[in-house]
Amino acid sequence: MDLQSLFKFPIIQGPMAGGSCTPELIAAVSNAGGLGSLPASLLSPDAMRGQAAKVRQLTDRPFQINLFVLKTPQPSREEVARAAELMRPIWESLGWTELPVPSQWCQDFEAQFNTLIELRPAAASFTFDILTATQVERLHDAGIFVMGTVTTVEEALAWEEVGADAVIASGVEAGGHRGTFIGAQEDATLSARVLWPKVARAVEIPVIAAGGIMTGIDINEALAAGAKAVQMGTAFLVCDESGISPEYKLRLINAGDTPTRLTRAFSGRYARGLENRFMKQLEEVEKQLPAYPVQNALTTPIRAAAAAKGETELMSLWAGAEVRRARAMPAAKLMQTLVAEMRTE
């Protein structure tokens, strides 16, 4: 299988975890000639099966499943207690007397990986770390096209070495979590338009461009820089079918002068979102907070409580640096608009 067989138009909807990528959104993108993406990093194997089945009810076109490559952590009680203390001003503002400790820190990656192979989507992408050559071979044996997320040339070469079919080169402008897995996350600072051609020159496999892509003109720029396709997250986050809360969507649509920036306060891994009170309050201590997925699990009840109240200042408002250019419309219409812009430039 090659990359071009996955779509009619070289547009991949970014896999954004946390409920934003509904089966309706994923299917709408695939039905319109792009490649829809099911983010499964936070899903149990049964939930993965259920979501994939819903997507398949809505489209017979290819779609991909994304996973975070993770080892299940075992933080000490002291580490958890210290993190809770650092976040005390946040959870006390919700009227809580303590921060609830989750029953699990993350899903079991091995179980998710086995379920992914069982589900046999047309493609799969991976973020946060790299697979082994043996794992890539297992995916290939199941007929799955393999894509690795990278933020540096070194990471792209590593994915090519283990047998990936393509790499997703994600510039620092991209919304949500950074996929850095070699070296310090703080050092992976290449902007999208610098990263794309560097990666395209370094590897033989196809490059998928990500970061700051909002229009058909942006897509043409990425293709001219050596990419074979693009992955767009924030652009689809404001679509009608997106599963984010109405309050979150309004913040994105009306982003105005609100800056986006990278923070590790929410999850313990650097991620880009609209700046809000949560980010500002924890800015001085964010480097002391535990790494993903421990911090992510600890802040989940805070973010859920905030979402239930429509309190966006305590929610993770993931968004790319170009959020101001996002256009709210049905996903099929956005796909048509992007294709028309690519053709008329």
Tell me the C-alpha to C-alpha distance, in Å, between residue 58 and each of 18, 30, 35: 20, 10, 14
Residue 122 DSSP code:
S
Pairing of strands 260-263, 271-274: antiparallel
Instruction: Indicate if the pLDDT at residue 286 is higher than 90.
Output: yes
CB 156 within 8 A of CB 118: no
Please give the pLDDT value at position 145.
98
Task: Report, as an integer, the average pLDDT of 297-311.
Answer: 95
Which is nearest to 175 in space by CA: 345, 20, 291, 14? 14
Q: How far is CA 22 from CA 26, 37, 55, 228, in A?
A: 6, 10, 9, 26
Q: 345 falls in which pLDDT band (50, 70, 90)? A: low
Is residue 216 within 8 A of residue 342, CB to CB? The reply is yes
Mean pLDDT of 119-129: 98
**pLDDT score, position 97:** 96
Q: What is the mean pLDDT of the chain?
A: 97
Rounded to 10°, the helix 23-31/331-344 angle is 30
pLDDT of res. 225: 98
Q: What is the pTM of this model?
A: 0.96
pLDDT value at position 1?
Answer: 73
